[in-house]
Amino acid sequence: MSSRRIYKRQALTRLSIVTGIVIALNVLSSTFFTRLDLTADKRFTLTDSTRQLLREIDDVVFVKVYLQGDFPAGFKRLSKGTRELLDEFKVYGGDRIQYEFEDPLKGKNDQELRELLQDFAKKGLEPTNVQNNAGDEYSEKIIIPGAIVNYKGRQVAVNLLENTPGIAAQEALNNSIAHLEHKFSQAIESMALIRKPKLGFLRGHGELGNLATADLTTALSSFYDLEIVYADSVLAIEKEFKALIIAKPTRSFSEQDKFKIDQYLMNGGKILWLVEALQAELDTVVAKRSLLTVDYPLNLEDQLFRYGVRVNPGLILDLQCNPVPLLVSYEGTKPKFNLYPCYYFPVFTPGGNHAITQNIAAVTSQFTGSLDTLAVKGVTKTVLLASSDFSRIVFNPWLVDFKELKTRPDESLYNKKKLIVAVILEGTFPSVFTNRIPAEMMQTLTDSLKMPFKSNSSATAMIVVADGDVARNDINSQGQPLPLGYYRFTGEYFSNKDFLLNSIDYLTGYMQHIDTRSKTVKLRLLDTTKVKTERIYWQLLNTVLPICLLVAFGLIFNFIRIRKFGRQQMQNINIK
């Protein structure tokens, strides 16, 4: 058999094998669906809860995104990230996920533009003014970084841009891209809900008011039905509440109110306690220049002790802290302030692998207490927040004087480590009223509520935080609430809101919110200064070098070819 026929047969065999492999791979890929995400931060991987949500929707979800047009690079990243996410949604939701991008402001005159912006504002979309500095050119443009999600005749506005004071523009855009999945999935889920789960905010004991918790309640209201509960006005706290929030009480709890909270817990209710043992407020220190701490007469010590935690009557002083401005001199009639570290304002870095604190940044606080945990049968405890390795405790009464902050603290006193600030307790809890229930409360249970007294709870959970101010947002000079976690003296943003939202979602069982909220996308930015100074170098490297390599490859290839075939020709001539 000639060599030509053998070569031909081998070629056909190889072709048949390759064709068979390609066909087999196509059959397998159509039968077994899989996708590979090779990015380090898994930015193209949806959480399990989002995939499940998309598979379960039974009608068309139509998303109209208003991020089309000529934008700066950062907003192009946001637009591209949104498109990629919606494409990923289509993989799991199929034809039930539909979307379109448009530039709503294109071709509009001034009057039409004003009317359109007013219409968007009514829907809940916030316009932003983008300034573009490209070399010597400067331009401004109004854009709508948002989307409208429609499902079953309902619609929800989704603001794609995380517009948080104190956050650099590039970091804000990066956070926006990281939270796209959370925003869109929660929008779809909120429209799919027939009835929102209920959350109760306990009042009647000097708790934080509506304005102080405005940012937290706004964030919660998109998914939960919020209701204020006055314990002295109800016979019992309804079991329908998925969780009860007690945010910084300052007045005493009556035994009747404690009993209602206790029986709510015994019947499977979840509680978020934000409680402080000592009274110390920044406004008081500023007004009086100093203050002497006093106890909050909450009358909760025995109840929390019975559940497995004790709020200590002291303050944590921590060298890992936020600064405060202090007057140092006058320049003419103008006062001059410098920032000094304020160890009364600790900053807590979440640790451990608990779902609540995973992937969230530091949490800021003011005049924070500490907790001790106690052994209670059937109850497990997990620390969520703790002080740094350079902290101490001072006990009541303690004189708080900010003038001392100008003096360097004695670091040898700050020798306490990991003082507990927040803890989650899970399991079956004993009632604090076992063997001591007052007759009138028992009568209310049996006659009015037709309920038996429960001395032990069903499986449930509670979170105790030794600082109520973690839930307080500051108020600006116009009386409007600032974002929760925004520290006005430095312009820095902390993760108080994420910590509390995660805590509430964990207690209520909505883990899918935590999964998407905690997703991160790493920011990989070019060094703009280096780009400008080395621009020509990189341009030459990327244009001239490939050509030079191609020419060199051609010369070497021809040289080798001439040597190889030149020798063969010489050998053939010699044979002849």
Q: Of 498, 508, 484, give the one whose Cα is nearest residue 178.
A: 498
For the cut 90, the answer to whether the pLDDT of residue 212 exceeds it is: yes
CATH 3.40.30 fits 48-190, yes or no: yes
Do the Cβ atoms of 506 and 384 come closer than 8 Å? Answer: no
Question: Which CATH architecture is the domain 195-517 placed in?
Answer: 3-Layer(aba) Sandwich (3.40)
Burial string for 26-40 (b: 16+ CB within 10 Å, else e) reads eeeeeeeeeeeeeee
pLDDT band at 72 (very low <50, low <70, confident <90, very high): confident
Taking only the tens place, the pLDDT of each residue in 482-522 is 989 989 888 888 989 999 999 999 999 888 778 777 665 55
For the cut 80, the answer to whether the pLDDT of residue 569 exceeds it is: no
The pLDDT value recorded for residue 559 is: 77
447 Cβ contact partners less than 8 Å away, ≥ 6 residues apart: none
The pLDDT value recorded for residue 45 is: 75
Residue 30 is inside which H or E element, if any? helix 3-31
Domain ranges, ordered by start, for the chain: 48-190, 195-517, 530-567
pLDDT band at 461 (very low <50, low <70, confident <90, very high): very high
CA distance 199 to 456: 23
For the cut 90, the answer to whether the pLDDT of residue 248 exceeds it is: yes
Q: What is the mean pLDDT of residues 192-200?
A: 86
